Amino acid sequence: MVDENKLIETAYVKHMSDHYKQASEELLHAYQRNKEAARHHEAGAFKAALHHAKLSKHHSFNAHEHLKDALVIAEKLESAQPWSTSVLKPPSGSGVH
C-alpha cells in the first residue's frame, strides 16, 4: 500500500511538472506574440498588430489554465500527504514570495 501511494504521488508530481512546463512554453509564446504586436503597431500595421495581440491573449489564457491545473494537483497532494510546514515554506531570504 505504501508503494502504491508513492507511485500515485510520483504520478501527480510528474503531471504537475508537465503543467508547469506547458505554462512556461505558453508564456514564452505569449511574450513573443506580444513583442510582434508591438513591432507591428509601431510600424503602423494595425491589423497585424491586432492579430498578434489576440494570439498573445490566447497563449496567456492557456498558461493560466495550466497553472490552475498545477495548483489543483498541488492542493490534492498537500491534503493527501500533510507535509511539515518547513517543507512548504521557502527559507527566509530566498527571495521567493
3 state DSSP class of 74: helix
Residue 20 within any structural domain of the chain: no
Residue 49 within any structural domain of the chain: yes
Cell representation of residue 94: 530566498
Residue 59 within any structural domain of the chain: yes
Cα–Cα distances in Å, from 46 out to 34, 36, 39, 57, 58?
Answer: 13, 11, 10, 16, 18
Q: Indicate the number of domains in the chain.
A: 1
Residue type, 8: I
Cα–Cα distances in Å, from 17 out to 33, 52, 91?
Answer: 24, 28, 22
Cell representation of residue 62: 492557456
Query: Which residues are within 8 A (CB) of 93 and not within 5 positions of it... i.e. 6 or more apart?
Result: none
Q: What was the pLDDT predicted at 86?
A: 47
In terms of residue numbers, what domain contains 43? 33-81
Instruction: Please state the pTM of the whole predicted model.
Output: 0.76
Task: For the chain, list residues with pLDDT below 50.
Answer: 84, 86
Residue 53 within any structural domain of the chain: yes
Residue 52 within any structural domain of the chain: yes
Residue 67 within any structural domain of the chain: yes
Residue 73 within any structural domain of the chain: yes
Q: What was the pLDDT predicted at 83?
A: 54
Residue 55 within any structural domain of the chain: yes
Closest CA to 63 of 97, 86, 42, 32: 32
